[in-house]
Amino acid sequence: MSASLLESFRNLPDLPTHPEQIAKVLDELNKTSSMDYNLLHLIQYDPAIATRILAVANLPVYGYERRVESLQQAAGLLSPSLVTSIILTTPVFEIFRDADHACHQQFDHLQLWAHCAVTGVLAAYIARKLESVEEGICLTLGLIHDMGKMALIVNHPKQVLEAVERCRKEGGALNDALREMVGCTPYEVAAQLAGDWHYPGILIAHLRDMEAATGSENSAPVMIVRLAKRLAEDWKYGDGLELPDTTPVDSLLPALGVSPADLDQWKPEMQSQADKLARSILAKMLS
């Protein structure tokens, strides 16, 4: 089964989001004739909608001079009417739950969705503090970094559950368990989807580098997102799989030129932003 599971993601059209989120974004679209702050704020914390908007913005038919690397760039290029069309064709989680209800009940889709949003906002904060890395790319990469995991959970929940249970019993990383059991990892799936959806090469490379032990010379956004992801988990905004990352936070700092003292200084504001965003997400989705 080694190559077949990865092959099954070829030409996958999209990822699902929550129906409540689609309703809120469409309501905001009805109030404006342009991509204003309120609308961008709603979209930029939804991994499913973000991946679709990036994919559409990078379609060859639009002929932009350069590939679109961030959600902010994409939102600025697409009209509200096109964004509305994208959102109306975004599937919702309920469709996939019906296909394998028992398996999907064991995943906290909302927690994974919130984890990606928190990772994105923390990555953007770190980039802003460092000043040498584009904030929009870090937010986008943080938001979509787990799109391969989402795709695996939605389309092959049983296999992911088996890998998770193996990690809980025997230890080890989920990436390693999935590679051995089904022949691919979430980041390999993410990179393949990004390629199929015409994402720019640098964003595809960043998704691949998320899995590597060390980043390439151009992977500052990757290192930032790894740190943001780790902090999100420490602050109880993990992906819901209950497989804690034991990588010491301090080990991720030197590659970015960040000291433990820097991080301690940033933490109160970062935690405040993460808490505010997570509460907002949970309140909107559960209301």
Whole-number pLDDT of residue 29 = 55
Q: In Å, how far from its chain's centre is CA 276?
A: 18
Q: Where is pLDDT greater, at 45 or 39?
A: 45
Whole-number pLDDT of residue 101 = 55
Residues with Cβ within 8 Å of 275's Cβ and at least 6 positions away in sequence, in order, are: 235
Whole-number pLDDT of residue 185 = 92
Whole-number pLDDT of residue 6 = 77
Domain 4-286: CATH class, spelled out: mainly alpha
Whole-number pLDDT of residue 75 = 73
Query: What does the pLDDT average to over 255-274?
Result: 95
Query: Where do the domains of the chain lie?
Result: 4-286
Record the pTM: 0.81
Write out pLDDT tens, residues 52-109: 888 888 887 655 666 788 877 887 777 767 776 776 666 554 444 444 556 667 787 7
Can you tell me the distance from the alpha carbon of 134 to that of 151, in angstroms, rounded to the nearest whole number? Answer: 27
User: Please, are residues 120 and 143 in contact by the beta-carbon 8 Å criterion?
Assistant: yes
Check whether 34 has a pLDDT greater than 60.
Answer: no
Whole-number pLDDT of residue 33 = 53
Whole-number pLDDT of residue 91 = 57
pLDDT band at 13 (very low <50, low <70, confident <90, very high): low
